């Protein structure tokens, strides 16, 4: 069995492609089992919880897929104050989480030094690991925040298909977006580095999804998030999807493809922290988290954004955004983890990846 596992781990693009088009349930069961056993032997049975706080929905970008895009004038904007963010950090710690994830649109109103003070306060006042997901900020900002104590940074490259990426993620101030370059920079600075992709973007080809998985391996990431693309009606891509009348069948395919990519990512990157993403649980509220966790994932990022802001972080339509909050919400997630025979992670849940010397 060990030799078999070793061979699978070194899957080439053709083998990845074969799995991506596989439809036979029995064969797919063997893929889920393999991903689950690799997950178990590499990152264990714990499911780490990261408290997600969406600190601002302002965004300078015009991404065609995202409801936060600047031209979406229908959206009421908010930016949390320092005290509100610190209060969330204390709540996150009280719930027993080891990590807070501070996420926002690409908001240049999040001023470098002021935000650096917020990071320092969280590090002084709690024992939380701090993960940032604030978009494509300058090298200087990223360095200052790392020196202030931020531990990790998430920046999805969204798709490895350059043409598709450029068409859905326009440049800002004439500067072409190069997220791969920023990911390498983040690693150089010292961050634990996370990235990921969306599955089911209009025009996304199966070959480019196989390239995404190869790219995860090449970048040797600490964290990898894979979620379905969910059309937002107030975005150009969402309108395009409405016109092409994407039917229910395409949602089923998108979900299955997302599970396959999670499983193949676990096989390609055995030590990575891989979340069962919120987008996955949004498309499959019934057992999206459970299936993700049983097919390779080992992390959940419960949304701890204060209820008065939650519904305004409208990246895609989601009924769950106005759902339970606080301890009820937390208890429910814990129960779901335990119901599938897993345990809730204790501590920061740092990366177990063995760092390559030459990145």
Stretch that binds ligand SAM, among 118-126, 150-158, 207-215, 258-266 (CB under 6 A): 150-158
Interface residue with ligand SAM, options 77, 120, 121, 156 (CB under 6 A):
156
As a whole number of angstroms, the distance between CA 28 and CA 198 comes to 21
| SS3 category, 162 | helix
Which candidate, 285, 240, 276, 232, places its Cα nearest to that of 258?
276
Task: Tell me whether residue 105 or residue 270 sits nearer to ligand SAM (CB atom).
Answer: 105
Question: Judged by CB, which is closer to ligand SAM: 239, or 344?
Answer: 239
Given the complex with ligand SAM, which of 133 and 333 has the nearer CB atom?
133
Query: What DSSP letter does each residue of 247-290 carry, written as one string?
Result: -HHHHHHHHHHHHHHHHHHHHHSTTSB-B--HHHHHH-TTTHHH
Q: Which two tokens stand for residue 185?
A: 């920079």
- Can you tell me which of 49, 55, 68, 186 binds ligand SAM, judged by CB under 6 A? 68
Smallest gap from residue 7 Cβ to ligand SAM (A): 32
Interaction of residue 43 with ligand SAM, rule CB under 6 A: no
Q: Which helix (H) or strand (E) holds 344?
A: strand 343-344
One symbol per residue from 215 to 234: x for binding ligand SAM (CB under 6 A), - otherwise; what is it?
Answer: ------------x-xx-x--
- What residues have CB less than 8 Å from 138, skipping those under 6 apart? none
Nearest C-alpha neighbor of 141 from the set 105, 189, 212: 189
User: Which C-beta is closer to ligand SAM: that of 232 or that of 266?
Assistant: 232
Among 241, 279, 294, 333, binds ligand SAM (CB under 6 A): 279
Residue 131 CA to residue 52 CA, distance in Å, equals 9
Residue 124 contacts residue 78 (beta carbons within 8 Å): no
* Member of 19, 58, 65, 145 binding ligand SAM (CB under 6 A): 65
Per CB under 6 A, 158 contacts ligand SAM: yes
Site size for ligand SAM, by CB under 6 A? 19
Interacting span for ligand SAM (CB under 6 A) from 33-41, 151-159, 321-329, 336-344: 151-159
Kindly state whether residue 106 participates in binding ligand SAM, applying the rule CB under 6 A: yes
In whole angstroms, give the CA distance from residue 357 to residue 213: 21
- Which position among 316, 318, 349, 353 is part of the footprint of ligand SAM (CB under 6 A)? 316
User: Phi/psi at 347 (nearest 5 deg)?
Assistant: 90, -165
The piece of 82-90, 102-110, 304-312, 331-339 that touches ligand SAM (CB under 6 A) is 102-110
- Does 199 contact ligand SAM by CB under 6 A? no
In 280-312, which positions are buried (b, 16+ CB within 10 angstroms) versus exposed (e)? bbbbbeeebbbbbbbbbbbbbbbbbbbeebbeb
Assess 155 for contact with ligand SAM (CB under 6 A): yes
Count Cα atoms within 13 angstroms, Cβ side, for 201.
Answer: 27
Which ranges of the chain does DSSP label H, i.e. alpha helix? 2-9, 13-21, 25-43, 82-94, 112-125, 139-148, 162-168, 179-189, 206-219, 236-243, 248-268, 278-283, 288-294, 307-310, 326-339
310 binds ligand SAM (CB under 6 A): no
- As measured in angstroms, the least distance from the Cβ of 186 to ligand SAM is 12
Q: How far is the CB of 119 from ligand SAM (least distance, A)?
A: 17
Residue 66 lies near ligand SAM (rule: CB under 6 A)? yes
Q: Does 128 bind ligand SAM (CB under 6 A)?
A: no
183 lies in the site for ligand SAM, by CB under 6 A? no
State the minimum distance, in angstroms, from the CB of residue 133 to ligand SAM: 5
CB burial readout 141-165, b (16+ within 10 A) else e: bbbbbbebbbbbbbbbbbbbbeebb
Contact residues: ligand SAM, CB under 6 A: 65-66, 68, 103, 105-106, 133, 135, 155-156, 158, 198, 227, 229-230, 232, 279, 315-316
């Amino acid at each position: 069995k060990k030799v078999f596992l070793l061979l699978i781990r070194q899957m080439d693009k053709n083998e990845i492609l074969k799995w991506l088009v596989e439809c036979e349930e029995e064969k797919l069961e063997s893929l889920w089992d393999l991903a689950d056993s690799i997950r178990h032997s590499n990152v264990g049975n714990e499911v780490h919880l990261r408290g997600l706080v969406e600190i601002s929905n302002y965004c300078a970008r015009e991404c065609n897929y995202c409801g936060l895009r600047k031209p979406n004038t229908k959206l009421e904007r908010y930016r949390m104050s320092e005290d509100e963010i610190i209060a969330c950090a204390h709540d996150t710690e009280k719930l027993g989480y080891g990590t807070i994830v501070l996420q926002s649109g690409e908001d240049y109103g999040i001023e470098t030094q002021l935000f650096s003070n917020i990071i320092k306060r969280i590090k002084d006042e709690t024992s939380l690991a701090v993960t940032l997901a604030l978009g494509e900020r300058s090298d200087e900002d990223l360095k200052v925040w790392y020196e202030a104590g931020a531990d990790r940074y998430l920046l999805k490259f969204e798709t490895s298909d350059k043409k598709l990426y450029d068409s859905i993620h326009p440049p800002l101030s004439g500067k072409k977006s190069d997220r791969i370059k920023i990911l390498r920079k983040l690693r150089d600075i010292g961050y634990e580095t996370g990235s990921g992709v969306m599955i089911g973007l209009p025009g996304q080809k199966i070959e480019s999804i196989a390239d995404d998985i190869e790219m995860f391996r090449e970048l040797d990431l600490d964290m990898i998030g894979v979620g379905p693309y969910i059309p937002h009606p107030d975005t150009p891509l969402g309108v395009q999807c409405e016109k092409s009348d994407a039917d229910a069948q395409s949602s089923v395919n998108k979900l299955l493809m997302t599970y396959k990519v999670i499983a193949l990512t676990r096989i390609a990157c055995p030590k990575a922290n891989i979340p069962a993403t919120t987008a996955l649980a949004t498309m499959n509220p019934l057992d999206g988290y459970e299936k993700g966790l049983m097919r390779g994932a080992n992390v959940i990022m419960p949304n701890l954004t204060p209820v008065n802001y939650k519904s305004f972080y409208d990246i895609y339509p989601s009924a769950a955004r106005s759902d339970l909050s606080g301890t009820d919400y937390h208890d429910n997630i814990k129960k779901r983890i335990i119901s599938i025979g897993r345990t809730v992670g204790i501590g920061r849940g740092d990366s177990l990846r063995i760092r390559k010397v030459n990145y």
